[in-house]
Structure formats: structure tokens, C-alpha cells
Amino acid sequence: MAKFNCPYCDGFIQTSGLIPNLSESLLISDKEFHDEPDKIDYESLYKKMIHLFRCNSCNSIAIFWEGMNSLPTWYNENS
């Protein structure tokens, strides 16, 4: 089970488990979205998505800019 501790509180994010993951959002750049063909291939679109997770305790976010095999960058309202 993939779990990363939040640097801002005692909470964490969990990147594996239930599908859909209720603390996960998916991002895509405007350019990549518009570069998609008119008929959307969801599998291809999903592969371009950047994964964002919210801390289970403080709502800070962790974004896996370089993919799920790299460490996330954390952000909160004070940083």
C-alpha cells in the first residue's frame, strides 16, 4: 500500500487502494487536452493525467509532476 506522510501535519496521502480514490484528482494541461483527438480515447487521456492527492487531515496537496514512480511535490495554503 503506497502511503506518503504529509510534511505539514501528521496526516498522509494514500495512492493505492479503492478505485476511484476519493482523495485523488487528475490534472491535464490545457494544451494536452486540446491536442486530444475529437473522439476521446479515455485510456490515452488517462495516461497523460497528472495525479494529485489531498492529505487526509489538513487538505494540503501532493502532486506527482514526474509520474507515480517519483516523489510528489507538496503544497499547502501557506507555501
* Paired strand residues for 64: 51
Instruction: Confirm if 42 and 34 have CB atoms less than 8 A apart.
Output: no
Those residues with Cβ within 8 angstroms of residue 7's Cβ, 6 or more apart along the chain or in another chain: 60, 74
Window of 7-15, 18-26, 41-49, 61-69 that interacts with Zn ion by CB under 5 A: 7-15
**Stretch 40-69 residues interacting with Zn ion (CB under 5 A):** 55, 57-58, 60
Is the CB of 45 or the CB of 56 nearer to Zn ion? 56
Residue ranges binding Zn ion (CB under 5 A): 6, 8-9, 11, 55, 57-58, 60
